[in-house]
Amino acid sequence: MMTTKAKAEEKEPAFPLYQLREHTYELFGVKPEVFDGVFAKAEEAEVTKTEAERRIKAFLKKEVK
């Protein structure tokens, strides 16, 4: 059984945005153009796959004005 401290140390790795973009369709099922729209104003150079997926889903759910 893992302790809480051990779980906290096992953080998900962050990847450079360009690497995630290269595999956008395989990882997230969207075209690179969608990825570009999501991260156009991103200030960080690296994100986790979970965070990227969360942002992509939120972007796709936004209402078009």
Residue 5 lies in a domain: no
**Chain centre distance of CA 24:** 10
pLDDT score for 65 = 85
Residue 3 lies in a domain: no
pLDDT digit string, tens, across residues 5-56: 555 557 999 999 999 999 999 999 999 999 999 999 999 999 999 999 999 9
Residue of 4, 63, 60 lying closest to 28 (CA atoms): 60
15 forms beta bridges with 47
Domain count across the chain: 1
Residue 4 lies in a domain: no
pLDDT band (50, 70, 90) for residue 64? confident
pLDDT score for 10 = 75
